[in-house]
Structure 1
Amino acid sequence: MSLPEIGQNLSRREMRKALIRLRMEMHRQEIRHESQQLLLPLQRVRGMGQNFQQGLGIKHAPLWGMAGVTLLGFLTGKGAKGGGIGGLTRLVRLGTSLVPLIKLAMQGSSRKP
């Protein structure tokens, strides 16, 4: 925003208007600065997440994260009430839920020379 020109022959009313415009511009800049300061930690976290994925060379990091959570859920979760079949059922569920991820990993490793 361009600042108003203040000359020697301005009336009192025009001087007040110019002063108010200057104050409004100062408040806009303060708000802009404060909002940038508030968003800085969020931008740092986003940058760290992207740098972490790029540094490890993981293309499908969210998919791998979901696979890890699923694996932990199946291994540490409580089975259905019943006998020894609950463990076998849990492993079958784990295998069927991880098939797409395993296929993706196999395709990714076969593409690399």
Structure 2
Amino acid sequence: MSLPLSTSSDLALRKDLIRLRMEMNRQQILYHAQPLAHPVQRIKSIMSNRGAASERHGKGPLMLAATVVLAVFGPRLGKVGKLARLGITLYPLVRKLRQ
């Protein structure tokens, strides 16, 4: 059985350890929330640039729908999701090369 913390330095070390663990947990939550936040920002930027700019870059309604679906279900699809996201990213370049 462990001995109770008796000295003030031991208590200070324990408080620091707890603070570090709480900060680590906060950073993990922020890290895991990023994939959820980035697709929303991407869709907002696409919608704000809609119109002539969207026609130039080939971001039509189908591309928007595919981006939303992959943002939601992409991580669950594993390698297929990664390849699909890569395809959506490279599609405007391939389309431009074809023209």
Same fold (TM over 0.5): no
More helix by share: 2
TM-score w.r.t. length of structure 1:
0.39
Larger radius of gyration: 1
TM-score w.r.t. length of structure 2:
0.44
